[in-house]
Amino acid sequence: MNRANDIKTPINVGKEVKIRGWVHRLRKQKEKTFILIRDDRGGVIQCVFPTQKIVPLTIESSIEVTGMLAKDDRAPEGGYEIRGSSLIVINIADVDFPIGEYQSAELLLDYRHLTVRTRRMIEIAKIRATILKFAREFFIEDDWMEVTPPIIVKGAVEGGSTLFKLRYFDEEAFLSQSAQLYLEALIFSLGPVWSLTPSFRAEKSRTVRHLAEFSHLEAEAPGVCLNEILSVEERLISYIIHNTVRERSDSLNFLKSDVPSITHINVPFDRITYHHAIDTLQSRDFKILDARGKKRTIDVGDDLNIDSERELTKSARKPLFVTDYPIQIKPFYVKEDVHRKGVGLSADLLAPKGFGEIASGGMREDDILSIKKRMKIEGLDPLHYEWYLDLRRFGSVPHGGFGLGIERLLRWLANIEDIKDTVLFPRTMSRIIP
Ligand code: ATP
Ligand code: MG
């Protein structure tokens, strides 16, 4: 069956065309009835019928229309319309389709199973699919092997407070927060590997950039140094954004994304050290909230939160790597620089214009004693990680990798305020239906 965009071409004018779809908009006049029909990829075309010949229709009824294609500049979305000769009703929708033009964000989320039919959600879904396509294409062309690590796991990666517990037969298990430890196990026999899996974090604070379930793209490679890891990250992201801009410029423009400035992004991305970031924030008298909710100037040892990330990138033109974090504010697996005690060999990547962290990567610690010590500090039971420590016992090599949040990338690229809109069925602390 044809879609609206295939039908709307000059060579079809004057010919009989047929389309199946849903009644997207309906306008009844005395003489004529105008139906905007939406196909199964969100394309729309206007169909016109004489009002006295048409059966009663409702919004979202599924129909099949046959008629002659005509050019009419008044017709929306391209100036073509179908002068209908036959209309078959497949299903008449109930009259009270709940999604209209002005609805609260909460209602749109309550009805997400129907909101996915709106133009905005359709365009977002297309951009998302294109991002995933080019991510995969990048790794294939760059000779990385795709792997599928487990989702049900026994150990935390990113700290116990955001773990989702589940009953696994007769024992306790968790939903994976990150595939990293498993990717680390695979580099010894498969070389550079990557995966795209859902990661789960029981994020208890409501923010516009945290989901309880997100699409996590992770990569890990043996025999690399930090600069090589960062170079893969920037080449990957650059490849994805430029190809997505090329293929989805209509969708991006519809969402009011800043396409021209994204088009100008090139590698290498910018870099600053953590200390430089703190100096910059202090020089602007940037304040953070302490544990008791009191404002104080940011200081060395504080992690960068969304507000500090926004301050650092508000006028940035390209993504910014923050390097050289103090090791104590990074997870147990981050490698300490042997030449600079206390400095972690890792980097977070911040998107421009305050969109915040989109990726995080670095070298992995290979000293077993140090890993065990830091696991204890983080409250993790080293017994659950014996298998991971084996990776350091048997032929360990310097290695590193990174994790990229697909929704964070999409949020920045498509200029989406709330990360909940980057997924079709968002999972947050207050939402698991639909
Ligand atoms: P943040 O400080 O923003 O919470 P994080 O340090 O917890 O991020 P990592 O553990 O380094 O993030 O995870 C790697 C990437 O996964 C992040 O850079 C981000 O893109 C993405 N990510 C992490 N947590 C979430 C979440 N709750 N929702 C969506 N994406 C996330
Ligand atoms: Mg986090």
**Domain locations in the chain as residue ranges:** 4-91, 112-422
Least confident of 16-25, 149-158, 190-199, 424-433: 149-158
CB of 330 within 6 A of ligand 1: the answer is: no
Read off the amino acid at residue 89.
V
Ligand 1 pocket test: pick from 407, 408, 418, 431 the residue with the most ligand atoms within 8 Å of its Cβ.
Answer: 408
User: Which atom of ligand 1 lies nearest, measured to the CA of 408?
Assistant: 20
Ligand 1 centroid–CA 305 distance in Å is: 12
Full DSSP string of 333-366: TBPBPTTSTTBBSEEEEEETTTTEEEEEEEEBP-
Question: 220-254: per-residue pLDDT in tens?
Answer: 999 999 999 999 999 999 999 999 999 999 999 99
Looking at the domain that runs over 112-422, which CATH code has it been given? 3.30.930.10
CATH match of 4-91 with 2.40.50.140: yes
Give the closest residue (by CA) to ligand 1 atom 16: 405
Residue 1 has pLDDT above 80, yes or no: no
User: Nearest-5° angle of CA 322, CA 327, CA 333?
Assistant: 100
User: Which atom of ligand 1 lies nearest, measured to the CA of 359?
Assistant: 18
Residue 427 has pLDDT above 90, yes or no: yes
Residue 34 has pLDDT above 90, yes or no: yes
Ligand 1 centroid–CA 363 distance in Å is: 17
User: Nearest-5° angle of CA 174, CA 135, CA 138?
Assistant: 130
CB of 203 within 6 A of ligand 1: the answer is: yes
Give the closest residue (by CA) to ligand 1 atom 19: 405
Q: Would you state the pLDDT for residue 206?
A: 84
CB of 319 within 6 A of ligand 1: the answer is: no
CA end-to-end span of the chain: 30
Mean pLDDT confidence for 172-178: 96
Ligand 2 centroid–CA 357 distance in Å is: 10
Q: Would you state the pLDDT for residue 364?
A: 98
Task: Please tell me the total number of residues recorded for the chain in this structure.
Answer: 434
pLDDT higher for 333 or 206? Answer: 333
Q: Would you state the pLDDT for residue 3?
A: 97
CB of 215 within 6 A of ligand 1: the answer is: no
Mean pLDDT confidence for 359-381: 94
CB of 214 within 6 A of ligand 1: the answer is: yes
CB of 216 within 6 A of ligand 1: the answer is: yes
Give the closest residue (by CA) to ligand 1 atom 27: 210
Residue 418 has pLDDT above 90, yes or no: yes
Q: What is the band of 107 on the pLDDT scale with cuts at 50, 70, 90?
A: very high
Q: Would you state the pLDDT for residue 205?
A: 83
Q: What is the band of 309 on the pLDDT scale with cuts at 50, 70, 90?
A: very high
